[in-house]
Amino acid sequence: MKNIYKVCCLMLLSMGCKSFEPTLLNPDGTVFNPKLPSMEAVVENNLVAIVNSGGQTIGANPQDVRTYFDREVKELMTDPYNDKAGVLLLNVNTIENKHQFIGYMMASVYTISLFNVLGGPYSVSKSSVEVEIEVLNKNNRLIGSYRGNGSAKLHQGYYSKTNYNQVDQQRISYLKAVKNAVQDAKSKLIPDLDRLISELDN
């Protein structure tokens, strides 16, 4: 078993895989027009992070979500240069977050990589989340709530377009799922922009 594990590791090291790119934390999607007044971005997340002995987060990282949502709010959703008119609270409910590795690697070893040459992956990361964006005024009163769902699935393999390394694959899958869910929630918030702006300005 130890020899099989060593072979698996050597196969992974021989592949040209991408690492986590800081640009993945940048906002994307729809720019609000008109924008909400300046708002504080807050994230509540039920994800339990895994931290190694060196203090580094392994896999999905809640801090990525906080950084991304803060940028999303400041750059795309609000006018960040005035006094805060309230809070945009992002609640993240993690439905699925898994990294499948051993089964695929065993198939690679026992077929001498034929499994991968024919299109099989070395590993798969899958994430699925539900988010809720709550809009609270400066008196902490809820004036709007919008739900969204998002998922992401990344493969590591010879022909993968998203060929991230084992260390970062699950981290990126989770972040992409959250970003997709936020865009879904934003699409439901947009029709309410005029009402929200009016209530936040009062």
Bridge partners of residue 148, in order along the sequence: 131
Residue 20: inside a domain: no
> What's the pLDDT tens digit per position in 102-158?
444 554 544 545 444 444 455 677 899 999 999 999 999 999 999 999 999 886 654
H or E stretch at 143:
strand 142-156
Bridge partners of residue 75, in order along the sequence: none
Task: Mark 74-87 as b/e (b = at least 16 C-beta within 10 Å).
Answer: beebbeeeeeebbb
Residue 187: inside a domain: yes
Q: How many domains does the chain have?
A: 1
Residue 43: inside a domain: yes
Residue 71: inside a domain: yes
Residue 139: inside a domain: yes
Give me the domain span that covers residue 95: 2-7+29-201
Residue 148: inside a domain: yes
E strand map for 46-141: 50-51, 57-58, 86-100, 123-137
Entry pTM: 0.80
